Amino acid sequence: MTGTKILLIIGGGIAAYKACELVRLIRRDGGEVTCVLTDAGSQFVTPMTLAALSGNPVHTSLWDLKNETEIGHIQLSREADLVMVCPATADLLAKMQAGIADNLATTLLLATDKPVFAVPAMNVRMWQHAATQRNVAGLRSDGVHVMDPDEGPMACGEFGPGRLPEPEVIWTAARRLIGGGATLRPKTSLSGRHVLITAGPTHEPIDPVRYIANRSSGKQGFAIAEAAAEAGARVTLVAGPVNLPTPAGVERVDVESARDMERAVAAALPADVAIMVAAVADWRARDVADQKVKKDGGDPAPLPLTTNPDILAGLAQSDKRPKLVIGFAAETENIVPHAQAKRLRKGADWIVANDVSGDVMGGAMNTVHLVHAGGVENWEPMAKRDVAARLVERIMDEFPD
């Protein structure tokens, strides 16, 4: 994306704050972004904030005499590789469809000869209104790429379609357009697919008080569940003991031990995709004490262990095997070689490997390598939710529309 020029038009609405993160993502990937802020948009974010993030002046008025002497609005509309409208309010969509040019943003949209990508955000009733749906249909027939909004809770307290998608998902879709895709892949490209995800640790009891566990926070698995639901999938999330909210639109099954998780995974089949993110304990106590084990003042008593079920390998060999089976490998050394060996040993299609020798477990960032039969993809360090969005995008490639 180095050198790619984006003209970002920011409409009014509480979702305008996400435009700041979108600007950061564009800059992170080497793109240049120029912001046009509507009067309504300026009620939610400031020109100073956007200028600091973009490194460019922010345009707010058609009546900037210096720029208009040089026909600045025409120049702005023609210099970009992609014009993005985010958030696109019901008012902006209506004006775009009607060809109204009563401010800088709408004038630019009429003057541009570049692809236009609109990302709606509004109240559920406004989105579902017949007038808005007519406007969206008309814009799409005119060649404007309109992304479907997310479904979920809104700032107004209602629930349904109308939420602005997460910035990473928006930018991923924009990159596809810039890369030459003739049409924008809908947000619902996993619609009708069942995605099964495991997340978090397992707790293997020693006695009624103590257990064997690991440091998995569940954050990566929950982020993937959220991204898959946003892509339109039916998501079943089998979660070990974690203190995380259930993502919107996700069916959650809580479990404690590896054997509990194995049973829950089997009960959730069939599925189109299985993503085994959970850090399942390799071993459990062979004999679980009925009462708390007491210290006797001497050396600790031996703790005989036995092997837990291999959920990933069992799923890969199942007669109900999903089309795409993805495992995770948390390693502290020789990350990629260990992951390549694990993929073959377990029978998985993909292994997502990451180095957990630092503070990854429980942290917000991750650096992963996607290992598959075709080779290894080394992804740059990014937030776990960004890893989730990119992984779901790769999964979409396996399920073309």
Residues forming the annotated binding site? 282, 292, 309-312, 328, 342, 346
Per the annotation, binding residues for CTP are 282, 292, 309-312, 328, 342, 346
**Which runs of E-coded beta strand occur in 332-383?**
350-355, 365-366, 368-372, 375-378, 382-383
Under DSSP, the state recorded for 231 is: T
Give residues with Cβ within 8 angstroms of 90, minimum separation 6: 120, 122, 126, 127, 129, 132, 135
Give Cβ neighbours of residue 297 (< 8 Å, ≥ 6 apart): none
Q: Is the peptide bond before 120 cis (omega within 30 degrees of 0)?
A: no
Q: What is the dihedral of CA 240, 243, 249, 252, to 10 degrees?
A: 30
Kindly report the number of other CB atoms within 10 A of residue 175's CB atom: 18
Cα dihedral sign, 292-296-300-301: negative
90 phi/psi in degrees, rounded to 5: -60, -35
156 noted as active-site residue: yes
Other CB atoms within 10 A of residue 79 CB:
13
Per DSSP, the three-state class of 301 is coil
- Both structure tokens of 221: 């698995």
Helices (DSSP H) in 256-400: which residue ranges? 258-268, 311-316, 335-346, 384-397
Tokens 């814009």 appear where? 139
- Sheet of 375-378: strand order equals 250-254, 234-239, 194-199, 273-276, 324-331, 350-355, 368-372, 375-378
Q: What is the DSSP string of 172-194?
A: HHHHHHHTT-SSPPPTTTTTT-E
CA 101 to centroid of chain Cα atoms: 35
> For residue 87, is the peptide bond before it cis, meaning its omega torsion is within 30 degrees of 0?
yes
Catalytic residues: 156
